[in-house]
Chains A and B, each alone.
Chain A
Amino acid sequence: MSAGAATMVSSAGGLLAMLNESNPQLKYHALSNLISFVDQFWPEISTSVPIIESLYEDEEFGQHQRQLAALLVSKVFYYLGELDDSLSYALGAGPLFDVSEDSDYVRTLLSKAIDEYVSLRSKAAESSDDAAKVDSRLEGIVERMLDKCILDGKYQQAMGISIECRRLDKLEEAITRSDNVHGTLAYCINASHSFVYRREYRQDVLRLLVKVYEKLPSPDYLSICQCLMFLYEPEGVANILEKLLRSENKEDALYAFQIAFDLVENEHQAFLLNVRDRLSAPKSLPSESVQPGSSNPAHAQNENSTAPEDVQMTDGSSAVHEADPNEVMYSERLTKIKGILSGETSIQLTLQFLFSCNKSDLLILKTIKQSVEMRNSVCHSATIYANAIMHAGTTVDTFLRDNLDWLSRATNWAKFSATAGLGVIHRGHLQQGRSLMAPYLPQGGAGGGSPYSEGGALYALGLIHANHGESIKQFLRDSLSGTNIEVIQHGACLGLGLAALGTADEDIYDDIKSVLYTDSAVAGEAAGIGMGLLMVGTATEKASEMLAYAHETQHEKIIRGLALGIALTVYGREEEADTLIEQMTRDQDPILRYGGMYALALAYRGTANNKAIRQLLHFAVSDVSDDVRRTAVLALGFVLYSEPEQTPRIVSLLSESYNPHVRYGAALAVGISCAGTGLSEAISLLEPLTSDVVDFVRQGALIAMAMVMVQINEASDSRVGTFRRQLEKIILDKHEDTMSKMGAILAAGILDAGGRNVTIRLLSKTKHDKVTAVVGLAVFSQFWYWYPLIYFVSLSFSPTALIGLNYDLKVPKFEFLSHAKPSLFEYPKPTTVPTTTSAVKLPTAILSTSAKAKARAKKESEQKANAEKSTGPESSSAAANAEKGKSSSEKDGEAMQVDNPPEKKSEPEPSFEILTNPARVVPAQEKFIKFLEDSRYVPVKSAPSGFVLLRDLSPNEPEVLSLTDSPTSAASPAGGSAPAAGQQSSSSAMAVDDEPQPPQAFEYTS
């Protein structure tokens, strides 16, 4: 008896024999004992499965006993690895299958059950009828599982499963029952974007989320509006904004402004305009007479005074009288929010920021200019491109003005792009864009200038007004219809497409279409792209019209333009675009297949959709045309930009392909999806490609590398420094191929884009796609065929700044903390001596000294000397001190100079720095940004970058404003008035001195 404790059963034979007994009680006894021994004796039991199965099917046997038998069989099948059978018997076991049991068996079967259920549900949803009947028992298990998750507080699991199972009812339950509803909602939004592959279903999920949000006691309007934007429900957003604006509370108005800024960041022009137009006039009963006036930004500033009067006239019954403070307040706020929604406010502020913080290094350009051979027109125009990109949006065109002679070598299309380059430099200069470009624009009927510069100027206008072209549309249309020179038509089509991006304006479409039907190769290409830009993301039926014409025409250029245009129309439509994609990818014409790749890329942009990736990879290795293969690989970059870490892994094999086109595509794919991330794997993948044997692969790799490394400095990744030196070497090397030289020059431009204050960003901070940026990069990647399209890259630039705004939408003095070493994120050091390497290689001492002398002379000639240009450290710091309000500068100690007493100067490297509004915050720095506790201003939303509305805790004290050195005011704003200009009028007076004059109209001597 003492040893009895150790007695173990050696066989299940006895119990199995008992199953054959006639007495049901014995069978039950055997079953229940077998259940507990099944883990050990399943091999023995497995031979008797038929007996147990027959017990399960025995009608005379009790319900519980039958379920017990089912459970036993299920377990045996589980051990045998027959999960399907196991699951079907587990379903038969009913409540005996305990979802909360913590065993491998239950876990495996649960996941199996959920998988099964998910696939059944999605099949049912896709076939859109109830043909696929879901087993109610299966449903029961999944529901029990979900209920258990919710009870256990595992809300995220429950939400994830219910999203996958398309059980919106359970999803709602999970969200509302969770303890942190806001947190779970945010999680859910995220999940729905990254894991829900079908667009329609995602919209259902978002609709549900909006519903849940609205039920909350304190709704998170920011998130609601984001969701509504996805659902394209402008009324909802307009209602929320109006409610907030009408609130007594100033904070609500701040909130509304913040929402508007966040919406603007997604660059959905048509939607924003729609919201703006739906905001009712300053009256509870909206009067139609005000509506048209208020929808026009040009009149917006008048509204402040006129609107209440209009109301008074039209609405007699209302008790509101003229001086109703609420209405006055509302109309004032309305003006502001309309300014924001039209994008003007943010563009204005961005422009001011980019102008005042411009840190571009003119010496780099100078070096390039000098090392490039005069006769080499490709490198010559590449330098012009590089300059434009480097100064994108800064309005600084010193380089062009200083080198008019050199510039005048640009002829024909080079002249076209040189002129268009001005548009990039002045991007966002909405008020004066037109007056700036005036000297080059086509003069009505006179026909004085070269068609190339005129076409370029129209293109430039489009770039300046990209996605905000309300005020310029009409002019561009007139120019388009007023000419039959194909170069001008080319420029006008591109310009119109850019200005009216995504507005789907029928009239403009018809104008462009008539150009297309002239069947002129040059104009037709631009027309195709222009139509696409106009119809971005509308999935319009016009695509088939375009496709038909593409089949009809003989000109490859037109086909290519149309192919891209068609691809643009399905932007973001995911499955909806499948038919069109199928049609294009099966076409005989490689150019249309090539368009099909773009269609795939854009329709599934940033979704990381497996189906799209599979298709692209298939084309990348199987198509007969190199162009298609190259584009297929490149398109991967677009599909994957929401998960940049994935891309290097996916294309790594392709980057070693024997086919140079595929290698090129791989390089650009990495460049596109990892743009601005500085991702280490991406750099490692690109590095070998920059010294590829084929020249155009080098070109692509250099450009891609620059895109990845934009705004990364040497302190955070030493390879950036290496890359800069490599670029310099390629540019200076006389024997280098033109192609890679051009790549290097462009790369140098992109690396220092926008005065070193912009990055390439395809996702907004809320992880939504930025339409303009994606479209911009897509068209940019066309530069393979048509260099002037390089300028489209400027659409993807977004300023890396934290700009705090007060209630008046002005920039108050406000400080915050960057909890990291300043050197990690500072601007790259300016190049001092032109090129030491060249001095070694080619002993042309005259060149370097003359360059230095030139630099000095230039510095003196300029009113506002930029610190970078000085040659010695002392003068640098002196100059920097003289500079107004720069938060971070080149020297470590000086990083603190603006805000901190100089006692820190002696310390080696502070571990933090204080930044002053508006400040450059590069993407990598965002996680270190902290707001100070005892600050006067508190941000409405703690976002580390972008526009942030600030709550003033002591509103009665006078505010100190910064960022007054704006390039906004001009002597005569020819391009029409704007509300922002009105707001800035007080500060603009003192800023006049800083305003750079438009460049002299340089003459071409071709």
Chain B
Amino acid sequence: MDLKEVSQQFERFKAAFVKNDFDTCANLLSQLKVLLTKFRSLPPLFENTPNAVNELLLAREIYEHAVVLSVKIEDQDAFERDFFQLKPYYTDVGSRLPPSKQEYLILGLNLLRLLVQNRIAEFHTELELLSATALENPCIKHAVELEQSFMEGAYNRVLTARQTAPHETYVYFMDLLAKTVRDEIAGCSEKAYDYLSINDARQMLLFSSDQELLEYVKEEHPEWEVKNGSVIFQKAKESTPCKEIPSLQLINQTLSYARELERIV
């Protein structure tokens, strides 16, 4: 009975989802989640009720939609929340349910999210949990390749990968990834150069126009200075005078330790 009610609600949700009526979707989703808490067969209780499989399937589908929805409304926090709630359906009860078509897509999205947020450690943790077949899946593979490029510093490959995204939902993250890449480059340039000419900086940071570059500097790096046609990184200002390594002293100490050790023995 409850199940029916939830399914009807879900149908309404799906209708709104197709219509891209995201506000309605969010409302309905919130109600759905509350309704789901009534099912005792769902995680974390996993009670073996007669309708368990149906309920689990329904719940999984709801959460899968929730994840996709969160991508569509570009809400990373919601994505994380929903993904964690969805995860037990894949890991804990995966063996009891028919595999979901969406599974790899969503896992890949999650990997991408981690990459965007620069949470590389968690990215690899997730990766370790995947089976060999999963790694073959194009969605997953895409994310893995991206990560490799990212690590190698082949940023242009990362940016071109946007075109090869396996699913439309990936685009959102790919955009974000471009920004992440830019941040990385900015960080490196800051360390590497005292200043760059605006032209060089624009190329380096992969902007198409100077205007974009100036806006970017204004928003993200207000400490940079744009002067005389070049961008001056405040390296001289912030770099504390590098402490000289007291090598001579260290050598002397080590030698005396060695001598004394020899004497003791």
Residues of A within 8 A of B (CB): 1, 3-5, 7-18, 20-23, 25-26, 29, 33, 37
Per DSSP, chain A at the interface is helix
Q: Which residue of A lies closest to B91 (CB)?
A: A10
A-B contact pairs, 6 of them (CB 8 A): A4-B93, A10-B91, A14-B43, A14-B84, A20-B81, A33-B44
**Is the beta-carbon distance between A8 and B33 smaller than 8 angstroms?**
no
Q: In B42-65, which residues have CB < 8 Å from any A CB? A: 43-46, 48, 52-53
Interchain nearest-CB distance for B226 vs A (Å): 40
Interchain nearest-CB distance for A157 vs B (Å): 37
Q: Which residue of A lies closest to B41 (CB)?
A: A4
Q: Which residue of A lies closest to B84 (CB)?
A: A17
Contacts of A3 in B (CB 8 A): 95-96
Contacts of B33 in A (CB 8 A): 21, 23, 26
Interchain nearest-CB distance for B130 vs A (Å): 15
**Is the beta-carbon distance between A25 and B44 smaller than 8 angstroms?**
no
Distance between Cα atoms of A15 and B45 in the complex (Å): 11
Contacts of B46 in A (CB 8 A): 4, 7-9
Q: Which residue of A lies closest to B82 (CB)?
A: A17
Q: Which residue of A lies closest to B37 (CB)?
A: A29
Contacts of B91 in A (CB 8 A): 10-11
Distance between Cα atoms of A8 and B96 in the complex (Å): 12
**Is the beta-carbon distance between B48 and A17 smaller than 8 angstroms?**
no
Distance between Cα atoms of A5 and B37 in the complex (Å): 19
Interchain nearest-CB distance for B253 vs A (Å): 40
Interchain nearest-CB distance for B196 vs A (Å): 41
Q: Which residue of A lies closest to B85 (CB)?
A: A14
Contacts of A18 in B (CB 8 A): 81, 85
**Is the beta-carbon distance between B84 and A13 smaller than 8 angstroms?**
yes
Q: Which residue of A lies closest to B30 (CB)?
A: A23
Per DSSP, chain B at the interface is helix
The 0/1 profile, CB within 8 Å of A marked 1, for residues 71-95 of chain B is 0000001001111111110011101
* Residue from B34, B43, B96 within 8 A of A9 (CB atoms): B43
Distance between Cα atoms of A7 and B53 in the complex (Å): 13
**Is the beta-carbon distance between B84 and A16 smaller than 8 angstroms?**
yes
Q: Which residue of A lies closest to B38 (CB)?
A: A29
Contacts of B88 in A (CB 8 A): 9-11, 14
Distance between Cα atoms of A14 and B67 in the complex (Å): 13
**Is the beta-carbon distance between A26 and B44 smaller than 8 angstroms?**
no
**Is the beta-carbon distance between B48 and A1 smaller than 8 angstroms?**
yes
**Is the beta-carbon distance between A22 and B80 smaller than 8 angstroms?**
no
The 0/1 profile, CB within 8 Å of A marked 1, for residues 137-172 of chain B is 000000000000000000000000000000000000
Interchain nearest-CB distance for A54 vs B (Å): 15
Q: Which 7 A-B pairs have the closest CB atoms?
A: A17-B84, A29-B37, A9-B44, A7-B46, A17-B81, A13-B84, A14-B85
Contacts of A9 in B (CB 8 A): 43-44, 46, 88, 92
Contacts of B52 in A (CB 8 A): 1, 4
Distance between Cα atoms of A649 and B92 in the complex (Å): 58
Distance between Cα atoms of A17 and B84 in the complex (Å): 6
Distance between Cα atoms of A37 and B92 in the complex (Å): 15
Q: Which residue of A lies closest to B42 (CB)?
A: A14
* Residue from A5, A10, A33, A37 within 8 A of B48 (CB atoms): A5
Contacts of B87 in A (CB 8 A): 11, 13-14
Distance between Cα atoms of A23 and B30 in the complex (Å): 7
* Interface core residue of A4, A12, A22 (most chain B CB under 10 Å): A4
Known: A14-B44, A20-B77, A29-B37. 9 other contacts (CB 8 A): A8-B46, A9-B43, A9-B44, A9-B92, A10-B88, A10-B92, A11-B87, A13-B87, A33-B45
Contacts of A26 in B (CB 8 A): 33-34, 37
Contacts of A5 in B (CB 8 A): 48
Interchain nearest-CB distance for B84 vs A (Å): 4
Given contacts A14-B84, A26-B34, whether A37 and B44 have CB atoms under 8 Å apart is yes
* Interface core residue of B53, B86, B87 (most chain A CB under 10 Å): B87
Interchain nearest-CB distance for A25 vs B (Å): 5
Interchain nearest-CB distance for A940 vs B (Å): 68
* Residue from B34, B45, B80, B84 within 8 A of A25 (CB atoms): B34
Q: Which residue of B lies closest to A13 (CB)?
A: B84
**Is the beta-carbon distance between A15 and B44 smaller than 8 angstroms?**
yes
Q: In B77-118, which residues have CB < 8 Å from any A CB? A: 77, 80-88, 91-93, 95-96
Distance between Cα atoms of A657 and B44 in the complex (Å): 65
Contacts of A8 in B (CB 8 A): 46, 92
Distance between Cα atoms of A10 and B48 in the complex (Å): 17
* Residue from B30, B34, B85 within 8 A of A17 (CB atoms): B85
Distance between Cα atoms of A540 and B215 in the complex (Å): 90
Q: Which residue of B lies closest to A20 (CB)?
A: B81
Contacts of A12 in B (CB 8 A): 44
**Is the beta-carbon distance between B84 and A7 smaller than 8 angstroms?**
no
* Interface core residue of B30, B43, B45, B96 (most chain A CB under 10 Å): B43
Interchain nearest-CB distance for A113 vs B (Å): 30
Contacts of B37 in A (CB 8 A): 25-26, 29
Interchain nearest-CB distance for B114 vs A (Å): 14
Interchain nearest-CB distance for B122 vs A (Å): 11
* Residue from B43, B85, B96 within 8 A of A4 (CB atoms): B96
Distance between Cα atoms of A3 and B93 in the complex (Å): 10
Distance between Cα atoms of A17 and B66 in the complex (Å): 13
Distance between Cα atoms of A943 and B82 in the complex (Å): 77
Distance between Cα atoms of A5 and B49 in the complex (Å): 10
Interchain nearest-CB distance for B56 vs A (Å): 9
Distance between Cα atoms of A123 and B212 in the complex (Å): 69
Interchain nearest-CB distance for A55 vs B (Å): 15
**Is the beta-carbon distance between A1 and B96 smaller than 8 angstroms?**
yes
Distance between Cα atoms of A9 and B88 in the complex (Å): 7
Contacts of B53 in A (CB 8 A): 1
Contacts of B34 in A (CB 8 A): 23, 25-26, 29
Interchain nearest-CB distance for A84 vs B (Å): 30
Q: Which residue of A lies closest to B46 (CB)?
A: A7
Distance between Cα atoms of A23 and B81 in the complex (Å): 13
Distance between Cα atoms of A1 and B87 in the complex (Å): 19
Interchain nearest-CB distance for B7 vs A (Å): 19
Distance between Cα atoms of A18 and B82 in the complex (Å): 8
Contacts of A13 in B (CB 8 A): 84, 87
Q: Which residue of A lies closest to B50 (CB)?
A: A1
Contacts of A21 in B (CB 8 A): 30, 33, 81
Distance between Cα atoms of A16 and B85 in the complex (Å): 9
**Is the beta-carbon distance between A7 and B85 smaller than 8 angstroms?**
no
Distance between Cα atoms of A856 and B77 in the complex (Å): 111
Distance between Cα atoms of A8 and B44 in the complex (Å): 8
Distance between Cα atoms of A13 and B34 in the complex (Å): 18
Contacts of B95 in A (CB 8 A): 3
Interchain nearest-CB distance for A30 vs B (Å): 9
Contacts of B44 in A (CB 8 A): 9, 12, 14-15, 33, 37
Distance between Cα atoms of A497 and B35 in the complex (Å): 90
Q: Which residue of A lies closest to B95 (CB)?
A: A3
Distance between Cα atoms of A15 and B30 in the complex (Å): 15
Distance between Cα atoms of A29 and B43 in the complex (Å): 11
Distance between Cα atoms of A25 and B82 in the complex (Å): 16
Q: Which residue of A lies closest to B44 (CB)?
A: A9
Distance between Cα atoms of A266 and B32 in the complex (Å): 80
Q: Which residue of A lies closest to B31 (CB)?
A: A23
Interchain nearest-CB distance for A312 vs B (Å): 93
**Is the beta-carbon distance between A4 and B48 smaller than 8 angstroms?**
yes
Interchain nearest-CB distance for B60 vs A (Å): 12
Distance between Cα atoms of A23 and B96 in the complex (Å): 30
Interchain nearest-CB distance for A4 vs B (Å): 5
Contacts of A15 in B (CB 8 A): 44
Interchain nearest-CB distance for A10 vs B (Å): 5
Contacts of A16 in B (CB 8 A): 84
Interchain nearest-CB distance for B30 vs A (Å): 5
Contacts of B30 in A (CB 8 A): 21-23
Distance between Cα atoms of A428 and B82 in the complex (Å): 94
Contacts of A7 in B (CB 8 A): 46, 92-93, 96
Interchain nearest-CB distance for B132 vs A (Å): 20
Contacts of A29 in B (CB 8 A): 34, 37
Q: Which residue of B lies closest to A25 (CB)?
A: B34
